[in-house]
Amino acid sequence: MSRKNKLRKFAEVLSFPNVYECYNVQEPGLVGVNMEPVELKGAWLERHFKNDNPITLELACGAGEYAVGLARLFPNRNFIGVDVKGNRLHAGAKIALQEGLHNVAFVRTRIEIIDHFFAANEIAEIWITFCDPFPRASKENRRLTSPYFHEKYRQILQSGGLVHLKHDDDALVAFTLETLEEDSRCQLLYKNLDIYSGELPIPELSIQTLYEGKHLAAGKTIKYLRYTINENPISS
């Protein structure tokens, strides 16, 4: 993508009412339309969505294809896509506005500081779809299913709240299963190492991103895990 095109997207996204951005990791805070500061922690339902429906986060959402797809499937639920790249979020945010999907929003920030923008028990579910698997052992803590990130999620996820992982990377899935086994607070509720070998277990899995299409075309199998990370998991 050319620098000129990126700058155009950065400028355009400043006018989007469904996008919030954090520009300073050292002093975390969100801004909305025209760079106006906003305080949404603990108040997403009241101040943005203006309803009482549960909130699902999609982490490392890229262009927001999955978050938008979820919003289409479930109009009575709220969705927030999170990614550090503003030019990626532009695509999903623009589509949501064009389609009048008021139940999806986007946040540009590093996931490491996500607890600054969501309060305890504010999030019902988390989706992680085709994130960077960080295969090098030295970057283990950057994997979004690592113990480090699970501790972050515990600060915002409701008791029994679900975490969904959909990915093609065998090593990341194996790492996640090992992480769950080693933490007594976690409970694996469902495992499918080839979701397209039979009927899809839940409608959410029918959404396919550009990356998933490429992985399938390359002959890779798509895996799915569903689990909880806190002391009071709901039944499967």
For 34-91, the pLDDT digits (tens) are: 999 999 999 999 999 999 999 999 999 999 999 999 999 999 999 999 999 888 899 9
pLDDT value at position 7?
66
Mean local confidence (pLDDT), 92-111: 97
**What pLDDT, on a 0 to 100 scale, did the predictor assign at position 87?**
80
φ and ψ of 177, to 5 deg = -60, -40
Nearest in space to 55 (alpha carbons), one of 106, 93, 129? 106
pTM as predicted: 0.93
DSSP code for 222: P
Give alpha helix (H) positions in the chain: 3-13, 44, 65-73, 86-99, 147-154, 170-182, 210-217
List, in order, residues 6 or more apart from 209 with CB less than 8 Å away.
62, 63, 65, 66, 129, 130
Domain limits, the chain: 3-228
The Cα–Cα gap between 76 and 143 comes to 31
Residue matched to tokens 């469904």: 18
Give percent of the chain above pLDDT 70: 95
More confident residue, 1 or 187: 187
Q: Is the pLDDT of residue 184 over 90?
A: yes
Going by DSSP bridges, is the β-strand pair 104-108/123-129 parallel, antiparallel, or unpaired? unpaired
Q: Looking at residues 197-202, what average pLDDT do you find?
A: 96
Annotated catalytic residues are 132
pLDDT the model gives residue 233? 47
Sign of CA dihedral 124, 83, 205, 76: positive
What is the CATH T-level fold of the domain 3-228, as seen in this structure? Rossmann fold (3.40.50)
CA 162, CA 124: separation in Å to the nearest integer?
7
pLDDT of residue 210: 87
30 falls in which pLDDT band (50, 70, 90)?
A: very high
236 — pLDDT class (breaks 50, 70, 90): very low
Kindly state the average pLDDT of the residues 204-215: 92
Residue 5: the pLDDT is 73
Greater confidence (3 vs 75) lies with 75
Task: Name the least confident of 1-10, 66-75, 202-211, 215-224.
Answer: 1-10
